[in-house]
Amino acid sequence: MTAARNLPAANGVAWLTQGAQLILRNPAAFLLMGLIVTVIGALPILGSMVLAVISPALYAGIIWAARVQAQDGTAELAHLFQGFKEEGRLGPLLLLCLPGVVAGFIAVVLIAIWIGVALAGVGASAVLERPEALLGAAGAGALVLVLVVVALMVVVFAVTLFAIPEVMFGEKDAFAAMRRSLHACRDNLGAVLVYLLVLVCGAILAMAVLSVISSLLGQFVVSVLITPLAGASMYLAWKDVFGSAITREAPALPETPQDGGGMVA
């Protein structure tokens, strides 16, 4: 199995810019995919829970569509569900939700502990009279909590960034794919951090601008835009890092990966 290549930090930006260019070649299909994923997550009560479980399979579909589009094919809305249709892929893709689910559970437990400690320090009655007293009592614990939650999110990102396309196109062992993704992120820490920072900062900036009109509208629109961009750039990142390790091709669209260490088309 080919090892991950060590690429320049600037490639992290290239994954996003080339991903955006790829989407602009067929924006309707990709934006509809983003819309469907966003609507699923917005469904009351169970929407976020369902999305947490099936999001790897949905992102695998966007990745499939990005690959078809990159090979001069035409991405279609139906590609969003390709991960559910490919034989032997759905099970491993669903297993990729485990890091996010576990991290979410840990975050909830930590938040509950933090609130419990703060309440014990000031008393429930004082909090009811002055809610801001909760933050004051928590002190530095709030900062530590935020840092721990961010660290958990980064770990989840690292174990799934390359694992989703890896499972969709080759590796059927979800845990092996996650280990490989983690190692690839370690070997390309600069590019991955640049990619993540630009993606997150761009989303926050867009949300801040749109929130002038409506905060709810801002969150909805940014989710619709960011979802396909994340999927397309994830495909390009995986292809760039594991170029010669690609083992499966999209049907009827043969592709020869580049052997060099630069960005791939």
CA dist., res. 183 & res. 162, Å (int): 10
Inter-CA distances, 86 with 83, 90, 137, Å: 6, 7, 52
What's the number of CA atoms in the CB half-sphere (13 Å) around residue 90? 8
Inter-CA distances, 62 with 75, 78, 208, 249, Å: 9, 10, 26, 15
Place of tokens 């020869």: 256
Say what the pLDDT of residue 196 is.
Answer: 95
Residue type, 1: M
CA dist., res. 80 & res. 96, Å (int): 17
Please check whether residue 4 is in contact with residue 242, taking contact to mean a CB–CB distance below 8 angstroms: yes
Say what the pLDDT of residue 135 is.
Answer: 55
34 is in which domain, residue-wise? 11-245
In a domain, residue 166? The reply is: yes
25 vs 120, higher pLDDT: 25
In a domain, residue 138? The reply is: yes
Say what the pLDDT of residue 120 is.
Answer: 66
pLDDT tens-place string over residues 144-200: 888 899 999 999 999 999 999 999 998 789 999 999 999 999 999 999 999 999 999
Say what the pLDDT of residue 245 is.
Answer: 43
Extract the tokens encoding 99.
Answer: 């890091």
In a domain, residue 254? The reply is: no
CA dist., res. 223 & res. 218, Å (int): 8
Single out the residue of 79, 124, 113, 70 nearest to residue 237, CA to CA.
70
In a domain, residue 57? The reply is: yes
Q: Which of 73-77, 154-158, 215-219 shows the lowest mean pLDDT across its residues?
A: 215-219
In a domain, residue 72? The reply is: yes
Please check whether residue 11 is in contact with residue 193, taking contact to mean a CB–CB distance below 8 angstroms: no
pLDDT tens-place string over residues 111-147: 888 777 766 655 555 544 555 555 555 555 677 888 8
- Would you say how long the chain is, in residues? 265
Please check whether residue 82 is in contact with residue 63, taking contact to mean a CB–CB distance below 8 angstroms: no
Count of domains forming the chain: 1
Say what the pLDDT of residue 129 is.
Answer: 53
Q: Residue 213: which pLDDT band, with cuts at 50, 70 and 90?
A: confident
* Mean confidence (pLDDT) of the chain: 85
Rounded CA Rg of the chain = 20
- Segment 239-265 mean pLDDT: 52
In a domain, residue 84? The reply is: yes
Helices (H), 71-97: 82-85, 90-95
Single out the residue of 99, 15, 26, 20 nearest to residue 56, CA to CA.
99
